[in-house]
């Protein structure tokens, strides 16, 4: 089998005949290697089952479709509800009935048909300059279209999954027409064309190129870990805007059992482990994310950023709006 014990680039993999092995489980992952290795190490230590991981930048569903029943992948691990829903729609996953998962994962963070299971959440928040923005100035996502922010906002591409999820939530709350107007307003307020990742936006705030940016919460923790990036992180506040009449936008990372799953029993053990209190604690401490387990608290660092009320929008409703969200982003030429 063309997997190694360490994380591999997707280009190094080819479709091979799926063969079950008693002591292995194979993953395709969109999650960055450093974010999941502590979890996989803990799983192997507890069960003796080796984890073979292919880290993919893109094309996970396409790869699984091309491999079909010959796919060596047992589990997919990905971020963003649209990617989870897309895998289900493509028919590359299978349902998993598990009392462990039902007990450990709240209903709002798992597929109604048990095709995918959320394991962590992250809030899409605003990073704001400590010197140039008062925390009271940022209250809602809708407010980002206000002309008072003209030339003051940085963000990553409008076509990125994280942005599209936020736009999808805006559609759910206000409809397509109002969302298009909102996108036009946000675009008019940009300090530069959308570019880079969430950390790049915080660096731009630190450099004085803009005053606020959109980003996921866990990037603050990752920046504080990096000696070079600590100065960027310390230049901003973490603020939790809400939708008018609702809460703060959250998204999930999650897992699903592949349709082929040659090592199905081991895959089930891994998925159930990821939902366990032990794994949830590792996520909370190592990755600065919010565990979905109701009995697991965020790390002390994450809790220090403040509390928030999560938006109650159903995750699958967000996924259903993705195509429309992308269409609106392209119509307003958000990245142009």
pTM of the entire structure? 0.86
Identify the pLDDT of residue 302: 93
Given a cut of 90, whether residue 223 has pLDDT beyond it is yes
CA separation for the pair 291, 31 (Å, rounded) = 16
Instruction: Look at residue 3 and tell me if it is in a domain.
Output: no
Cα–Cα distances in angstroms (integers) from residue 244 to residues 60, 134, 137, 141, 169, in the given order:
35, 20, 15, 8, 12
Instruction: Look at residue 113 and tell me if it is in a domain.
Output: yes
Average pLDDT (144-157) is 98
Identify the pLDDT of residue 35: 77
DSSP symbols for 38-103: HHHHHHHHHH--EEEEEE-SS-HHHHHHHHGGG----EEEEESHHHHHHHHHTT-EE----HHHHH
Encode pLDDT of 237-295 as tens digits. Answer: 999 999 999 999 999 999 999 999 999 999 999 999 999 999 988 888 888 999 998 88
Identify the pLDDT of residue 79: 87
Instruction: Look at residue 1 and tell me if it is in a domain.
Output: no
Which residues, in sequence order, are CB contacts of 304 under 8 Å at separation 6+?
none
Q: Do 177 and 312 belong together in one domain?
A: yes
- What stretch of H or E contains 322? helix 322-331
Q: Do 244 and 260 belong together in one domain?
A: no
Cα–Cα distances in angstroms (integers) from residue 231 to residues 127, 206, 234, 237, in the given order:
14, 8, 5, 12
Q: Do 196 and 327 belong together in one domain?
A: yes
Taking the CA atoms of residue 119, residue 120, residue 124 and residue 129 in that order, the dihedral angle to the nearest 10 degrees is -160
User: Which CATH number is 166's domain given?
Assistant: 3.40.190.10
Q: Do 29 and 45 belong together in one domain?
A: yes
Q: Do 242 and 315 belong together in one domain?
A: yes
Identify the pLDDT of residue 11: 36
Encode pLDDT of 98-120 as tens digits. Answer: 999 999 999 989 999 999 999 99
Instruction: Look at residue 208 and tell me if it is in a domain.
Output: yes
Asked if residues 56 and 73 have their Cβ atoms less than 8 Å apart, the reply is no
The structure tokens listed for 333 are: 């030429």
Q: Do 292 and 158 belong together in one domain?
A: no
Q: Do 326 and 194 belong together in one domain?
A: yes
Identify the pLDDT of residue 6: 39
Q: Do 322 and 183 belong together in one domain?
A: yes
Identify the pLDDT of residue 3: 43
Confidence band, pLDDT 50/70/90 cuts, at residue 123: very high
Identify the pLDDT of residue 286: 82
Q: Do 171 and 204 belong together in one domain?
A: yes
CA separation for the pair 126, 61 (Å, rounded) = 31
Instruction: Look at residue 274 and tell me if it is in a domain.
Output: yes
Instruction: Look at residue 265 and tell me if it is in a domain.
Output: yes
Break the chain down into helix, strand, coil percent, rounded to 5. 45, 20, 40
Given a cut of 50, whether residue 14 has pLDDT beyond it is no
Instruction: Look at residue 211 and tell me if it is in a domain.
Output: yes
Q: Do 126 and 105 belong together in one domain?
A: no
Instruction: Look at residue 303 and tell me if it is in a domain.
Output: no
Average pLDDT (305-312) is 93
Q: Do 161 and 19 belong together in one domain?
A: no
290-291/50-55 β-pairing: unpaired
Q: Do 194 and 87 belong together in one domain?
A: no
How many domains does one find in the chain?
Answer: 2
Look up the domain containing 314 and give its range: 122-249+308-331
Cα Rg, the chain, nearest whole Å: 20
């Amino acid at each position: 089998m063309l997997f190694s014990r360490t994380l591999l680039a997707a280009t190094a993999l080819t479709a091979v005949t799926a063969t079950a092995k008693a002591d292995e489980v194979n993953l395709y992952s969109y999650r960055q290697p450093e974010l999941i290795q502590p979890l996989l190490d803990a799983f192997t230590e507890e069960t003796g089952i080796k984890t073979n991981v292919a880290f993919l930048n893109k094309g996970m569903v396409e790869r699984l479709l091309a491999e079909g029943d010959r796919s060596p992948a047992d589990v997919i691990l990905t971020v963003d509800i649209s990617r989870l829903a897309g895998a289900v729609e493509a028919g590359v996953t299978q349902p998993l009935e598990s009392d462990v998962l039902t007990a450990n994962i709240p209903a709002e963070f798992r597929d109604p048909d048990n095709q995918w299971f959320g394991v962590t959440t992250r809030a899409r928040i605003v990073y704001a300059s400590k010197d140039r923005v008062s925390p009271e100035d940022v209250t809602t996502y809708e407010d980002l279209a206000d002309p008072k922010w003209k030339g003051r906002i940085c963000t990553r591409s409008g076509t990125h999954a994280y942005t599209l999820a936020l736009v999808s939530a805006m559609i759910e709350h206000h409809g397509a027409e109002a969302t298009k107007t909102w996108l036009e307003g946000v675009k008019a307020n940009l300090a530069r064309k959308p570019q880079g990742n969430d950390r790049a936006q915080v660096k731009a705030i630190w450099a004085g190129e803009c005053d606020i940016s959109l980003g996921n919460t866990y990037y603050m923790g990752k920046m504080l870990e990096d000696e070079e990036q600590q100065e960027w992180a310390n230049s901003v506040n973490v603020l939790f805007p809400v939708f008018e009449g609702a809460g703060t936008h959250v998204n999930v990372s999650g897992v699903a059992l592949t349709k082929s799953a040659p090592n199905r029993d081991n895959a089930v053990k891994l998925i159930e482990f990821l939902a366990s209190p032990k794994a949830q604690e590792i996520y909370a401490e190592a990755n600065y994310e919010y565990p979905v387990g109701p009995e697991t608290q965020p790390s002390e660092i994450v809790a220090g950023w403040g509390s928030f009320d999560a938006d109650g929008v159903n995750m699958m409703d967000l996924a259903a709006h993705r195509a429309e969200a992308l269409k609106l982003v392209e119509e307003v030429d958000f990245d142009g």
